[in-house]
Structure 1
């Protein structure tokens, strides 16, 4: 199975869902409409493509791109042919919600909880969406790029020591 074959099968089945595609480092990467991501992943799992292993779900934050500020990245693996693909779904900060994959993959449960915990992305239909690693009363999502990297009030550090 090749990347071209997988891309052709998905664009044939969901012609309006694939917004863009590329192959960084040889891995097929597709941007999918947020509303269609669950349908596409369901198709990838249950069709002859047999992407039956959900390797990872994670969040991304691009604060400089307002229409695609928040994203969810899914890595799927066909264990029989050893083919991996990456799917991305983007959204705005005002609408940080995407369908849960727990109905399709039991392992998505904790991955979605971690993504919610660190990025604040809500997964519709998740059975137990609450923080998994951070304290419940933390009050913010630490992986969002909202804070400076260094504390400007520190005097015991000199940036030149760190190659800056």
Structure 2
């Protein structure tokens, strides 16, 4: 009986040590951090990428708003050259029925349609297209024309992008 009590006390003291409680809380913190990183990876995984002028143009999502009848394209730009300014010049989208939409509400980072791309640093960018009906499920073409010094103009085309409506 005495040996059972000693064994029970030893087991309890081992499991109830402050270190084991601390290790459990660290484990919970690590789990939360892992979930955050998994979500960040999913958010920043591009559905389409075009590389030109040593810049990766990554489309992350094409999301429609049924109430506002808008479609917002979320992207990242990653410049693999020296720091350089870039600016939206003209953007348009065409759906599978041939309807054309002009881009508006351009943003590059925290700025409007113009900002600096820093070397190997992703910068988020969005474009909104207005008066898009929720019946439009795919953008056949999204054409971007940007002003950039090397070369002076960058023209990109993304094709067959599905729209996720909310």
TM-score normalised per structure 1: 0.30
Give the number of the structure with larger relative contact order, counting CA–CA contacts within 8 Å between residues 6 or more apart. 2
If you compute each CA radius of gyration, which structure gives the higher value, 1 or 2? Answer: 2
TM-score normalised per structure 2: 0.29
If each structure's strand is expressed as a fraction of its own residues, which one has the higher value?
Answer: 2
